[in-house]
Amino acid sequence: LNQLASDATFTVITISLVAVFLSIFTSVRFSRTILLPAEKLTRSVRSISSGQLNQKIDVNTDDEIGELSQEFNKMTERLRTYEQLNIQQLIAEKKKSETIVENIADPVIVTDENGMLVLMNQAAAAVFDVRGTDWKGKLVREVVGTQSWAEMLELGGVRRMEQEHRDPLFAFTHNDLRLYF
């Protein structure tokens, strides 16, 4: 009986250890099948949220995570399409604005928020005696030769002149013609 009890105890302990190892192996395997796709999904979503819309989530499971990844892929495709449409619309609007500015008879200068020249029509180029396109990206002060003109054309120049009670009206002669601005 002692031998039988000891054999039974050994068998129970062996079976218990095998069961514990199998359950650990199965739980690790099971958690990997859940966690790895979720981690892939999280990495891809982070990439997409940082603006990399060319990401494709390649989680191919038949569970909720697989469905979620398919929906994220659809959403990313819609965002990419929307971004392309916006870029095309912006380019079209920019070309339209450039054409309008170019065809205005009065001198027009467009600067960015830093005061760098972005656009100048032919009338402005003629008034300021600017040739070519080397003026793009330069400060107004660098392109416009007259100090008073440069002061007025800089950001907030007219407002500053009005606060100083100076007349922002300028008159000068160009090609024997008196011009007022």
Which tokens belong to 51? 């603006």
pTM of the model: 0.47
Provide, rounded to the nearest whole percent, the portion of the chain with pLDDT above 90. 14
Query: What pLDDT is stored for residue 166 in this prediction?
Result: 67
Question: What pLDDT score was predicted for residue 12?
Answer: 94
What's the pLDDT score for residue 155?
62
Beta carbons within 10 angstroms of residue 121's beta carbon: 20
User: How far, in Å, are 41, 72, 114, 143, 165 from residue 159 at the CA level?
Assistant: 53, 50, 17, 21, 10
The answer, yes or no, to whether residue 150 has pLDDT greater than 70, is no
DSSP for 57-112, written as a single string: -----SSHHHHHHHHHHHHHHHHHHHHHHHHHHHHHHHHHHHHHHHT-SS--EEE-
pLDDT tens digits, one per residue of 7-23: 999 999 999 999 999 99
Instruction: Give the pLDDT confidence score for residue 18 in this predicted structure.
Output: 96
pLDDT of the residue at 125: 85
Mean pLDDT, rounded, for 71-94: 87
Mean pLDDT for 151-156 is 67
Secondary element (H or E) of residue 118:
strand 117-120
Q: Average pLDDT, stretch 72-97?
A: 87
- CA dist 94 and 123 (Å) reads 19
How are beta strands 177-180 and 171-174 bridged, if at all? antiparallel
Q: How confident is the model at residue 42 (pLDDT cuts 50, 70, 90)?
A: confident
Q: SS3 for 21?
A: helix
Confidence band for 164, pLDDT divided at 50, 70 and 90: confident
The residue type found at 103 is N
